[in-house]
Amino acid sequence: MNDREQIINAIAANQPAFSPSPATHFSAGDQEGLASQFADTLTAIGGVVFIVDSLADIHQHIKDNTSAEHRVISRIGGIAGYSEDIDTTLSPHSLQDVEIAVLKAHFGVAENGAVWLTEELMGNRVLPFICQHLMIALYMKDIVANMHKAYERIGSNSYGFGAFIAGPSKTADIEQSLVMGAHGPKTMTVFLIRS
């Protein structure tokens, strides 16, 4: 008998009588002011939030706050003379010197400040992790109250890789002192776009 059969047989023999899966109905949470709840929560966990009117505002913000020698990858449309786009065939290792990645998120979650991105929005799976600074474009209308609503929205969509990202990479492993920029981005900025 191989390990697979051995394990499955042992489990089948030892598992208790069937216990049904429970209902998962939870209050939808405060539907008012989702954008401000999102902004407050993300700020509290180390993120930065700007409210803007359009993608062009984001481009301008990046131009105003970075210098031209920095490698900027934008997945929300090119910034003339500033950013490059990438395709999925690029080696992830070639992204190690990316200073800023600008990505669009599917939606945000008000209760925890997280944004949901799947692979196609990232361009390359490693990009939101390997860049020094992560910038996210999120339409205000695309904020849900909590994680139950988040998974309702994801539904049965298929993806190769997806992630909730909530704030900059961080650690508190040294005496519980919070330090931003453990391995991933040192900052995370979300641009909330008025719809």
| φ and ψ at residue 81, rounded to 5 degrees | 70, 5
Residue from 113, 133, 135, 137 binding other proteins (CB under 8 A): 113
Residues 138-177 within binding reach of other proteins (CB under 8 A): 146-148, 150-152, 154, 156, 158-177
Rounded to the nearest angstrom, the gap between the alpha carbon of residue 13 and the centroid of all alpha carbons in its chain is: 41
Q: Which is nearer to other proteins, 20 or 81 (CB)?
A: 20
Q: Which residues pair with 100 in a beta bridge?
A: 72, 133
Joined together, the tokens standing for residue 189 give: 């900025």
Residues 72-111 within binding reach of other proteins (CB under 8 A): 88, 92-93, 96, 109, 111
Report, in Å, the least distance between residue 115 CB and other proteins.
11
Q: x/- binding map, residues 31-60, to other proteins, per CB under 8 A?
A: ----------x---x---------------
Cα–Cα distance for residue pair 122/117, rounded to 1 Å: 7
Cα–Cα distance for residue pair 135/101, rounded to 1 Å: 6
Residues 122-141 within binding reach of other proteins (CB under 8 A): 124-126, 129-130
**Residue type for position 22:** P
List of E strands, 55-142:
72-74, 83-84, 100-104, 107-109, 114-118, 133-139
> Does residue 4 touch other proteins according to CB under 8 A?
yes
Q: Interface with other proteins by CB under 8 A: which range of 8-16, 48-56, 61-69, 72-80?
A: 8-16
Report, in Å, the least distance between residue 193 CB and other proteins.
23
The DSSP code for 31 is -
Report, in Å, the least distance between residue 133 CB and other proteins.
13
Q: Interface with other proteins by CB under 8 A: which range of 23-31, 49-57, 76-84, 135-143?
A: 23-31
**Residue type for position 168:** P
